[in-house]
Structure 1
């Protein structure tokens, strides 16, 4: 094609490219000249299509170039693209022929200056914070005396034994329910979230400890997953997060009701110290005994003072008892007078009610209701008989118009076989066609020998 056009130009004749030909040549030249390239720029004009493909523009201070991230590549990124994000991407340069735009088909992309996983974590934290999962106002207090403590952790490490030892030492009255999970690996987050929901379904534990030992950021990755954070947020049981060491901070720590620096510290936070409780009770018992002793001494001193003053405490008490009897008698007389007045008022109301009572009116209403009931019964019977006759008449007419009634009189319905198209004229069928005849009782499958007009 190009050789023929060069020959045409050499001979002085004119031959023009079509737009499609020129665009195809440019695309082929770009793809062969550049191949796979790396480009750094800032994302703008970000758009996520309903198909799942992402369209954007990579720009710097001077220029911009269109780019496409197809759905499969976008799913593998692990973080969300957004306007203003500076990235380094790998792809191939090509031309989108319908518009004549050159663009980059991206097959790998990393944030500039920060890892993809760290960016995804920061985006997840921002989104959960906006939804209120980290709000301190919603965090619940831990129970003071838990009867059962649920523990979601691995049974392979020392974490579970550290928790058991601390709980038995501090508060041996509490039961421990272990929910074994995988705390590291691709499926660890799903396993942890499922066990948290399972514990809430059983509703037997008073507090829940989610724990694992220390490790690298990759080892703690499961506790930074969104499904674990939402399972903790939705838990009806208060949750203590004890992941890693004191310097480690995960998303689970931010969502949990209480964050412990270590699994042992989580066990201490979940339980009261039994020895401290015993000491506190003994101290309260001693203080209470001293208080009663001082109170008795004060009352005894008052009695002694009365004796010194020449007053007989028993005589004083008798005078108070006599005064109480007098007041009781006066109160009784006042109550009886009030009762008598209320009785007289009630009797007067009863007499007036009997004179103006509704008995006569009630009798007339009962007679009226009986009369209306009889009329209603007669009207209902007449209505039902009329409707029954109408239904029987309609049924007879419906039967007369029924196709089955027509077939019962010896007629048949002809349909083309096997399409079952209704035949209304002889010309609707041809010789050797097969015809189905529907009779009142059954069908006949016939073959057309002759068409008679």
Structure 2
């Protein structure tokens, strides 16, 4: 019996060695790795139950829907970013990693981000649209239009039954009653609200019956204000040529309409205050300007009156001025008559003198003709003399040139060049022959002392692999060093195993 028991134990151990038996920890660990590697970060929506928030700062709860539930954990380094306090029964949207808790072998979700399900989806859509329109440049300050200083008419795009319209009209009547108001009635929430808002903006831009537009409504939740986050409304506001003031919700509410409009007002009442000036301030300004202008005119009149009195005292009597001018004119007339008589007398004397010296024109012409004939004869004589001298010089130079023609010298130099060329060629050939003989002798000498011939006789050259230094003694290397051995044909790369210096 003992022998049989021992045999059974040996067989069981052998069977166990053949099978791959998983310990529980290994199975759970590999299942966790498989789960975490199969799922990326995903979004999951459900209801919170069994919520636990211990002092460690971590949050644990069960996420469930109508058909299933799963355990969830949100660690302290993540839940400090929450914008709300989780509660049982709350519908939430989670961004999670799928995992497995090895201690209990439980399937669980590790939460990276948590937000309330209803408003969270709208908030993500809002942020996505805001980012895309911002990238397109719809929010750039360069596209913003300036509000008119004193508009004649204000357009209001809002619900006629809402408190926003009454607030705007009340502020306009109080600040500037003379301004006209044009109401474009629309729905500000619901399925058709966005389309009505877009149509109202386009209609106001087409009619041009107002100078500035106020678009807005009272406060509400994100769902209530969602019509003002419509992309088509944002593009209609951007394309509108009239300046637009956005007054949607309360001061803490921001919509896409606020960013794309030319001016954003925190409330509808504030939009009305931005649209028109304060009439009372205008009246006070006019009164102040009237006082300043009255004072300036009064000072100018006083100054001009003083200047006029000074000029009146400095101005002499007219009859005295006329008497002085008459005496001056009489004196000038006598001086002019005297000067004119002297000028006529002087001119008559010059005329008499010139008439005595003036000769008859025919005599002058005959004299000039005689002088011209004399000059012509002298010129011809000088030309012939100069021509003869130049011809003699030309003949002399021609004779000298014929004596200096270098044709014989050129022939003699060409013969000399040919002779020297033949001698040069012969000397070059002789020097080449001597150089060939010298080169052959040097090659024979080099072959006699070349190490390659020594390698051909069975010798080799050993050098260090890293530095290339030639090894002449065994002490130059150590065991483990790599060396190169050059043979007559080829190269060996070897490792030193042992060194025998003897």
Greater fraction of residues in helix: 2
Q: Please tell me the TM-score bracket, short chain as reference.
A: 0.3 to 0.5
The structure with the larger Rg is 2
> When the two structures are superposed, what TM-score results if normalisation uses the length of structure 1?
0.44
